[in-house]
């Protein structure tokens, strides 16, 4: 996934979930933040950030810039909450992600309604095998360990409950955690922030739902899925 017209800035502050103030070329600018999560460990005053400049293509936008990535130490972390679904779709289309027992991804449908939930992807191979996939973006990292969620997510629990039902009915089912950076040793659910999510993820793994974590190659103007990362689901 590529971005256009990337520029560099210095983070100043974030008054709410949707906007931030960033210094760009010595000028204080109000910018759109493409992630409504907390991201407090990333967006600290003085942090180097990367923004997409929409000059000459504003359309109905109110703000010229969107904040898409931040530098944490020597690592660039993509913060765009729309990026995980886009890079997973690219990987599905390229055959880099296949659910167990599936030969290919002949059919791919986004935002597929199943039961009481809308899941991110429906896939079907040339033999008629079917599967459903939910995608979660991960930006929280501590000492090389990526964790999700960074705040309680009842919606996330609902999605996993649906995946357990889907698996029990003979379909493929997977949750893919897209870690929006490199340098990760393992992924684990964040039981400290949301114990219930960690518990339901453990139940899903025991039910045969595929729990997958992928890191990403991140550049200021690009993000692409790279390697599978070990998943550790400890007893909670």
Query: Could you tell me the pLDDT band of residue 37, with boundaries at 50, 70 and 90?
Result: confident
Tell which CATH architecture fits domain 83-228: 3-Layer(aba) Sandwich (3.40)
Task: Tell me the chain's radius of gyration from C-alpha atoms.
Answer: 18
Across the strands, what pairs with 175?
134, 211
pLDDT, tens only, 58-106? 888 899 999 999 999 999 999 999 999 999 999 999 999 999 999 999 9
pLDDT, tens only, 107-118? 999 999 987 778
| Pair of tokens at residue 174 | 């997977």
What is the dotted CATH code of the domain comprising 6-78? 2.40.50.580
* Range scoring the smallest mean pLDDT among 20-29, 37-46, 88-97, 102-111: 37-46
Gap between the Cα atoms of 230 and 179, Å rounded: 12
- Give me the mean pLDDT over the 192-201 stretch: 93
- Tell me where in the chain the CATH 2.40.50.580 domain(s) lie: 6-78
**Whether residue 236 has pLDDT greater than 70:** no
Q: Are 126 and 112 in contact (CB under 8 A)?
A: no
Residue 97 CA, chain-centre distance (Å), reads 15
The pLDDT value given to residue 97: 95
The pLDDT value given to residue 38: 81
- Tell me where in the chain the CATH 3.40.1350.60 domain(s) lie: 83-228
**Whether residue 235 has pLDDT greater than 60:** no
pLDDT, tens only, 157-182? 999 999 999 999 999 999 999 999 99
The pLDDT value given to residue 117: 78
Average pLDDT, the chain: 94
């Amino acid at each position: 996934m590529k971005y256009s017209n990337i520029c560099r800035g210095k983070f100043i502050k974030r008054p709410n979930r949707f906007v931030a103030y960033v210094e760009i070329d010595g000028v204080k600018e109000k910018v759109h933040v493409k992630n409504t999560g907390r991201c407090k460990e990333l967006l600290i005053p003085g942090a180097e950030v990367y923004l997409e400049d929409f000059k000459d293509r504003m359309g109905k936008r109110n703000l010229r810039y969107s904040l898409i990535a931040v530098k944490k130490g020597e690592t660039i972390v993509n913060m765009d909450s729309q990026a995980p679904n886009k890079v997973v779709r690219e990987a599905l289309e390229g055959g880099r992600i296949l659910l167990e027992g599936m030969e290919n991804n002949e059919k791919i449908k986004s935002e597929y309604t199943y039961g009481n939930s809308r899941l991110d992807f429906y896939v079907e191979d040339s033999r008629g095998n079917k599967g459903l996939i939910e995608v979660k973006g991960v930006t929280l990292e501590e000492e090389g360990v990526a964790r999700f969620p960074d705040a309680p997510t009842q919606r996330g629990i609902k999605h996993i409950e649906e995946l357990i039902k889907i698996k029990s009915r003979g379909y493929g089912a997977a949750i893919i955690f897209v870690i929006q950076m490199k340098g990760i040793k393992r992924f684990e659910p964040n039981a400290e922030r949301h114990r219930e999510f960690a518990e339901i993820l453990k139940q899903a793994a025991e039910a045969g739902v595929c729990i997958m974590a992928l890191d990403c190659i991140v550049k200021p103007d690009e993000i692409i899925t790279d390697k599978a990362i070990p998943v550790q689901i400890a007893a909670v």
